[in-house]
């Protein structure tokens, strides 16, 4: 079961650990809440073609759907650029 905190302002639910986020084109990233220097932050991650990609999203409590979309798009762009470079 997913434990989540509702954020009615955004109409979005912030999960408490990790989940998978998928763009409309099917590109998916792993979203994780990580603790650094005593604070908790959301990061998007993807492992593709032997390389790890990471993108900062926001502090805990500030997660929005547009922020998830933007982070996934940035990683998708980086993955595509690396794959083009490797070809």
Convert the pLDDT of each residue in 16-67 to its tens digit. 688 899 999 999 999 999 999 999 999 999 999 899 999 999 998 888 889 9
The tally of domains found in the chain comes to 1
Residue 82 and residue 53: Cα distance in Å, rounded? Answer: 11
Q: Is 5 helix (H, G, I), strand (E, B) or coil?
A: strand
Phi-psi region of 84 (alpha: psi -120 to 50; beta: other; left: phi over 0): alpha
Which residue segment(s) compose the domain that 16 sits in?
Answer: 4-86
The bridge status of strand 28-36 relative to strand 51-59 is unpaired
pLDDT of residue 15: 64
Q: What is the CATH number of the domain that holds 43?
A: 3.30.160
């Amino acid at each position: 079961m997913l434990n989540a905190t509702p954020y009615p302002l955004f109409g979005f639910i912030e999960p408490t650990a990790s989940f998978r986020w998928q763009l409309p084109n099917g590109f998916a990233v792993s979203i994780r809440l990580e603790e650094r220097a005593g604070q908790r932050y959301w990061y998007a991650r993807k492992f593709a073609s032997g390389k790890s990609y990471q993108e900062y999203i926001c502090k805990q409590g500030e997660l929005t759907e547009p922020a998830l979309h933007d982070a996934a798009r940035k990683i998708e762009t980086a993955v595509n650029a690396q794959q083009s470079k490797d070809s």
